[in-house]
Structure 1
Amino acid sequence: MEVKIGVQHAPREIVLESGQSAEEVERAVAEALAGKAQLLSLADDRGRKVLVPADRLAYVEIGEPTVRKVGFGAM
């Protein structure tokens, strides 16, 4: 699952590939925004953890992973 996180006052967004489902990511974001958690915590496919202060979240985009095509296509 590809997740893009916009952070206030940061020039770039955070992009990660997470093994979590869309529902799990959405639940974590909702808890952070509701004040139940001070940090949005997500784990990526490589075992790294991304922590973002809940009060600095600008947006979170949840999407399917992009498939990279390799090779030559038929013309």
Structure 2
Amino acid sequence: MEVKFGITDIAREVTIETLATPDEIADQIRTAVENSSLVDLTDDKGRRILVPASKIGYVDLGAPAARAVGFGTV
């Protein structure tokens, strides 16, 4: 699933692919905002992304997408 973060004072958004569900990500972001802490996510390649909750402008939770297999078009 693709997650896009809009960070205040930064022109580009931060985009990651993660195996977490939208509900898991929303709960983690909600908790981080309430506690003024960091959002700690792991992408699908095992990298950790830490975003200060106080700097989040918006979060776009994309739909879970299945990976395409083969060379044909869908």
TM over 0.5: yes
Deviation of the 1:64 alpha carbon: 1.6
Any gaps of 5 or more consecutive residues in structure 2?
none
What is the TM-score with the length of structure 1 in the denominator? 0.82
Q: Deviations over 1:1-52 (max 9, x none)?
A: 11000100011000010000111000011001111x5101111000001101
CA root-mean-square deviation: 2.0
Any gaps of 5 or more consecutive residues in structure 1?
none
The residue that corresponds to 2:62 in the other structure is: 63
* Matched residues, number: 72
What is the TM-score with the length of structure 2 in the denominator? 0.83
Moved over 3 A (4+): 65-68, 70-73
- Residue aligned with 1:55, SS: helix
